[in-house]
Structure 1
Amino acid sequence: MTTQEPLPDPVPLMGCPYKADPYPLYARMREAGPVHRVLFPSGVRAWLVTGYDAAHGALDDERLGKHHDRGNDRWRARASIMPEPQHSRLQVHLLHQDPPAHTRMRRLVTGAFAPRRIERLRPRFRRLADALIDALPEHGPADLVTGFAAPFPFQVLADVIGLPRALAARFDRDWGKVVQPVGPTDPGRPRYEARLHGLQGYIADVVAHKREHGDDDLLGRLVTARDRGELSPEELDSMIFQLLVAGQEPVTNQITTALIALFRNPDQLARLRDEPGLLPRAVEELLRYDSAFELTTWRFFDRDSDLHGTQVPAGDSVIVSLCAANRDPRRFPDPDTLDLGRSPNPHLAFGHGIHFCPGAALARAELRIALETLITRLPGLRPAVADEDLEWIPAVLGRGTHRLPVAYDRRL
């Protein structure tokens, strides 16, 4: 029996091997303890929570706040947060708010994503998915990111929030990269700032359109709430920003991670083809097995505090690894095995507590429809590149691939 070398302090969370498969490192971290100091590519040092029970507790810990004002100077110096004035204008959305502001703002969006409403919209979502399949090459190959996984969630989101067709056609997916901020001296900074300005201008056009037309949809109701004084201008812009960016890119990535997991486990893919009734459980297992939300966003203590036996200074960033929690053998038997029939499956892919993803019902519906449509209409669906040639997105918090080249026998 060999003894592994002790983990470095801090543990670096970066590099292509880590992004391609972070799970061996997460297993070592879980075994060594629930909380570890980690280092991100930006130079930020943070405290990472890895085990299921510790993660569940941290997500529910009222001492941990989300507002960036809680961060200390050490965090702020390296965090590469958005420059001003964009940070103040776009970063006061739900993910960075604490009660009571969080409670007030979340109340305005939950109705649009309610499970009953999403269920009523399923036939429309299916038509959108089928139309995208119709546009793919008859015999392949095809890139499923550009051909399906990217446009499908965006088209669904546009329907759900009331984004007009003309404005939806103008949305540049490249704007979503503003959630991967770069430092002031980075050579990519000018392009990053150009993305910010482009997205800001687009949001202003959305607000102007909704104010002019008075539409009774989510975007229209948010603009009305701003005009009634229930939201500040910054809160309105930030909420639209969050809907447009966080509302579709993670689903794109989750479709790709789910397909890659099935390609790597052909027995489970065959099982899903043979047992379509397994789809609801399969989606939950695919969410657990490799979540697009790998890590949560920052949390902060407002005073020096104990976190599962580790002393964390006030204002240091605390991050929860949802992926590490979802592979904890103390909660999930044989966690590194993809078992589409797994039950129960209390994964944390959508978080937990007051910041539980308000769009979880929509994401689940999208994943079910996407997988069912792809598997039934593209018989023989399989990867068209070697596994090691997949290019994983170097995002800090999420998992996904830039492209997913596939082959299939024919298009039905």
Structure 2
Amino acid sequence: MTLQEPGTTADPVPLMGCPYKADPYPLYERMREAGPVHPVLFPSGVQAWLVTGYAAAHAALNDDRLGKNHDRGNDRWRARASIMPEPQHSQLQVHLLHQDPPQHTRMRRFVTEAFTPRRIEELRPRFQELADALVDALPEAGPTDLVPGFAARLPFQVLAEVIGLPEHLATRFDRDWGKVVQPVGPTDPGRPLYEARLHGLQSYIAEVVTHKREHGQDDLLGRLVIARDRSDLSQEELDSMIFQLLVAGQEPVTNQITTALIALFRHPDQLARLRAQPSLLPRAVEELLRYDSAFELTTWRFFDQDDDLHGTAVPAGDSVIVSLCAANRDPRRFDNPDTLDLGRSPNPHLAFGHGIHFCPGAALARAELQIALGTLLTRLSGLHLAIDDGDIEWTPAVLGRGTHHLPVGYDRRL
């Protein structure tokens, strides 16, 4: 496979297929060695520029030349990437991930208070109750699939508590609605199902807004609706922010639980170490985030004019993607980066991004992962993978890593 050298052109490297999704790290290693920026091809047909090394990724995440608003995308990008149809694209895609200052600054201030480390710590006992209740509902002994039984349920239950989603609405949320962020082209046979999910999610968001407006509750969702009614947010911004909370606020944590458990199953010495030293859990979570992040790639960034990116000429409006996973395995920043070391410190990984788009829910995600892993390892005696490693089915999601199924065995539930 030919990789781009800085300042040259080359055929784009395809980022797709089961072997790539199962283990992208050998490809990322070759990319890092060849240079920091490479042309790549996504399943949707989008050609983009991928940033791979830690220093280059850190710089790109903080580069104010690179904006995230979709209006910056050129016609080549738009022809392939604007998969979500109108009017939904305009109504649901103006959230924080697609905004630049000053709009981003204005919108972000509405959500940060709900996700402060102090508030998350106050809610931690409630999160533990939710995790224990889910484990109580698992079979007394394995096997079972931990995704539908635990990993897909805990993050949404926790999110509902944090943002103020009432139980009668939370129980009606369809996890499949989250798949609307996975590209399905206009001629794809799955397009009708995609559009049905999109309309279902949009109707659900409208119902959430109506409920909050009628009940006036003092929580994140309620405050966002009040901001809309005061014209501090547009209707499209309100709907898009709720869309982002419901989709980005839980699916990546589900995926991270699965990638973390798989990493531990593949490294029984580290799994035994964590069982023997529960106090190691916070540091272990940081290492698991670095080692195999659920946010494999960032969303689009664009130059508003032709510019240079680490020696590579990037046309205006072409998409620039940062590989967080590749950056987190860079040997120039981490000693023995392909080794899982749960005691690693310091650990300046980029799993939550960096700069103004650093994930506002990072404290919540860290708490969820600590509680999820701690609870499962403590209460499921002898927890282990119940299928061959090669039979793990990795999700085909373009930007993320995880698995929709994780069959496990265990001796008994404690």
Q: Does the pair score TM above 0.5?
A: yes
**Alpha-carbon contact 1:42-1:80 (below 8 Å) kept:** no
Shift of 1:264: 0.3
Write the letter of the residue equivalent to 2:293.
Answer: S
Residue 296 of structure 2: aligned partner: 294
Shift of 1:108: 0.2
Cα deviation per residue 1:42-67 (whole Å; 9 max; x = unaligned)? 11000000000000000000000000
Residue 12 of structure 1: aligned partner: 14
Residue 202 of structure 1: aligned partner: 204
Distance 2:373 2:293 in 1: 15
Shift of 1:9: 1.9
Among all aligned residue pairs of Structure 1 and Structure 2, give the percentage whose two residues are the same amino acid.
Answer: 85
Distance 2:320 2:42 in 1: 12
Residue 249 of structure 1: aligned partner: 251
Cα deviation per residue 1:155-180 (whole Å; 9 max; x = unaligned)? 00000000000000110000000000
Q: What SS does the aligned partner of 2:217 have?
A: coil
Cα deviation per residue 1:293-350 (whole Å; 9 max; x = unaligned)? 0000000000000000000000000000000000000000000000000000000000
Unpaired runs of at least 5, structure 1: none
Distance 1:210 1:350 in 2: 30
**Alpha-carbon contact 2:3-2:38 (below 8 Å) kept:** no
Match of 2:220 among 218, 225, 238: 218
Q: What SS does the aligned partner of 2:339 have?
A: coil
Alignment of 1:44-193 (within 5 A): 44-193=46-195
Residue 405 of structure 2: aligned partner: 403
Matched, 1:35 2:34: no
Unpaired runs of at least 5, structure 2: 5-9
TM-score, scaled to structure 2: 0.98
Distance 1:16 1:255 in 2: 20
**Alpha-carbon contact 1:391-1:403 (below 8 Å) kept:** yes
Q: What SS does the aligned partner of 2:344 have?
A: coil
**Alpha-carbon contact 1:145-1:404 (below 8 Å) kept:** yes
**Alpha-carbon contact 1:291-1:323 (below 8 Å) kept:** yes
Shift of 1:81: 2.6
Residue 238 of structure 2: aligned partner: 236
Residue 372 of structure 1: aligned partner: 374
Distance 1:130 1:280 in 2: 19
Q: What SS does the aligned partner of 2:408 have?
A: strand
Distance 1:271 1:379 in 2: 15
Aligned residues: 409
Distance 2:353 2:114 in 1: 19
Q: What SS does the aligned partner of 1:170 have?
A: coil
Distance 1:60 1:5, change over 3 A: closer
Distance 1:56 1:137 in 2: 44
Distance 2:140 2:319 in 1: 49
Matched, 1:275 2:274: no
Write the letter of the residue equivalent to 1:71.
Answer: G
Matched, 1:284 2:286: yes
Residue 320 of structure 1: aligned partner: 322
Write the letter of the residue equivalent to 2:389.
Answer: D
Q: What SS does the aligned partner of 2:308 have?
A: strand
Distance 1:198 1:19, change over 3 A: same
Q: Using the TM superposition, name which of 4-13 and 207-216 deviates more.
A: 4-13
Shift of 1:402: 1.1
> Aligned-pair RMSD on alpha carbons?
0.8
Distance 1:268 1:306 in 2: 42
**Alpha-carbon contact 1:326-1:348 (below 8 Å) kept:** yes
Distance 1:82 1:5, change over 3 A: closer
Residue 349 of structure 1: aligned partner: 351
Match of 1:22 among 11, 21, 24: 24
